[in-house]
Amino acid sequence: MKILLVSPCQDVARRTLAALQIPEVALQVLAALTDERHDVRVVMEEFEDVDFSLEPDLVGLSLMTANAPRGYLIADHFRDKGAMVVIGGIHASVLPEEAGQHADAVVVGEGEPVWPQVVADAEAGKLEPLYASDGPADLAKIPHPRRDLGPVKRFMNVNPLMTTRGCPYNCEFCSVSRVYGRKIRTFPVDWVVEDVKLSGRKYHLILDDNVIARPDYALELFEALKPLNISWVGQSSMSFAERDDLMRAARESGCRGLLFGMETVSHESMKRMKKSYRDQADLAEAIERIQAAGIFFHASVVFGFDTDEPGIFDETVDFLMRSRVHSATFNILTPYPGTELYKELNGQGRLFTEDWQYYDHTTVVFRPARMTARELAEGQNRVRRSFYRPSSILKRLPRHWRHPLFFTALNLGMRFSANRSGLPLAPSDVPEPQTT
């Protein structure tokens, strides 16, 4: 069969800035699980166009919520041409009935355990409407991704790596634990080392939600990465700052920077989310420890919690500038379907759109509790532009003198992205209550 695997972009008219595109690896793993008798093509639409003139026998789409509408258009196109279509990914896993309206089959949960059966059934012309594995994927049995398929150049030319799956936390705004489970599962260290070698790359991005979720495993992994002479970035929880041994081992293994989900500088929000740090002073100390260890601190901030008031925007910029963080991403709270947050806001009648293309963690799709939707959108927009204005970049630069070119390039890229963005407010026919 001719098989086309597609990861759609959110909007072909405004793809992510090339320097800031984040790599994927899921479809390349599915390609590796596909019998060599089949002709497989992988398309990641953020990097290249889908060729709609193709006539594949089977089309597989992996969907997040924001790119689901685009994915459905692609699915409908190829179904109209006679192709069998299978849809999976987080969005399909939480809304399988919706996805099923655009597909011959829907994969719920992790795709690796069921993909070979999906392909076999498609070849026999007997696709089942729903596929779901009996249990979590055995990470020791997952093949290395087909890196010969899909785009070669990615986010600063880094190579995506997988080391763990699962998340022990149950954040109200996240569906990761629902899809991958709350138990941390690990790829064998030898598998990860071999994957690094097979990639032939020096720079890597570890895709895990929390690279130190299993500290014992992380220490073993970091030790195994040391001889490879690579550089890597990833994501971590703030508990990283409490472990000098982890920080030292990570740095020696090639870690150059980590994204930290600090979410908020509001004491009230910290308390509600049961953060490991108690207040801004505690958080500032943790940031200093991490940066002193030679690891770039990229802060991931979220605006729109029910505890947030209009003053949160200036308070956040002031804190990040005092801490001289390397860089930051400013998100808007998004009630993704399948999360407790979605259930809560939907039950309260506070959602003003369910057009999934706006559910992208940077657009306001609900009515906040202590400000208007427009105030939230304008505040996020103002913070991005303020934090990445030239004077702010220059003020933070001396703290990151070891790698001035990387610091400057990343911050200027983020500045360009902020300046070209419009007001992050989804269209709505629902009027907001007047504030006094």
Q: How confident is the model at residue 276 (pLDDT cuts 50, 70, 90)?
A: low
Check: CB of residue 63 under 8 Å from CB of residue 104: no
Distance CA 55, CA 4 (A): 9
Of residues 236, 311, 300, the one with CA closest to residue 267: 311
Backbone angles phi, psi at 188, to 5 degrees: -55, 140
- Distances 181 to 81, 112, 137, 188, 275 between C-alpha atoms, Å: 37, 15, 11, 18, 21
Q: Look at strands 255-263 and 231-236 and give their pairing.
A: parallel
Instruction: Label residue 236 left, alpha or beta by phi (over 0 means left) and psi (-120 to 50 means alpha).
Output: beta
Distance CA 177, CA 93 (A): 12
Express as a percent the part of the chain with pLDDT over 90: 76
| pLDDT at position 409 over 80 | yes
For CATH 3.80.30.20, list the domain ranges present in the chain: 143-420
Residue-wise DSSP of 347-405: HTT-B----GGG-SSSSB-B--SSS-HHHHHHHHHHHHHHHTSHHHHHHHGGGGTTSHH
Q: Which two tokens stand for residue 284?
A: 């500032």
- Please give the model's pTM, rounded to 2 decimal places: 0.92
| pLDDT at position 433 over 70 | no
pLDDT tens figures, 118-137: 999 999 999 999 999 888 89
| pLDDT at position 312 over 60 | yes
State residue 12's pLDDT score.
Answer: 85
State residue 436's pLDDT score.
Answer: 40
- Supply the DSSP symbol for 366: B
Neighbours of 124 (CB within 10 A): 8
State residue 271's pLDDT score.
Answer: 74
- Distances 128 to 40, 60, 100, 191 between C-alpha atoms, Å: 21, 14, 11, 32
Express as a percent the part of the chain with pLDDT over 70: 92
- Distances 341 to 402, 422, 432, 433 between C-alpha atoms, Å: 41, 26, 20, 21
**For 28-45, what is the mean pLDDT?**
96
CATH number of 2-132: 3.40.50.280
Check: CB of residue 141 under 8 Å from CB of residue 4: no
Of residues 133, 194, 201, the one with CA closest to residue 163: 194
Q: Which two tokens stand for residue 339?
A: 């999360």
Round to the nearest angstrom and report the end-to-end CA distance of the chain: 63
pLDDT tens figures, 347-384: 999 999 999 999 999 999 999 999 999 999 999 999 99
State residue 19's pLDDT score.
Answer: 56
Distance CA 112, CA 89 (A): 11
Specify the higher pLDDT residue, 66 or 182.
66
Check: CB of residue 319 under 8 Å from CB of residue 284: yes
Q: Residue 263 forms beta bridges with which residues?
A: 301
CATH of the structural domain 143-420, one choice from 3.40.50.300, 3.80.30.20, 3.30.70.100, 3.30.1330.40: 3.80.30.20
At residue 318, what is the residue type?
D
The residues near 22 (Cβ < 8 Å, ≥ 6 apart) are 16, 154, 155, 205
Torsion of CA 230, 232, 236, 238, to 10 degrees: 80
| pLDDT at position 150 over 90 | no
Neighbours of 346 (CB within 10 A): 14
Outline where DSSP puts E strands in 312-377.
327-332
For CATH 3.40.50.280, list the domain ranges present in the chain: 2-132
Distance CA 116, CA 143 (A): 12
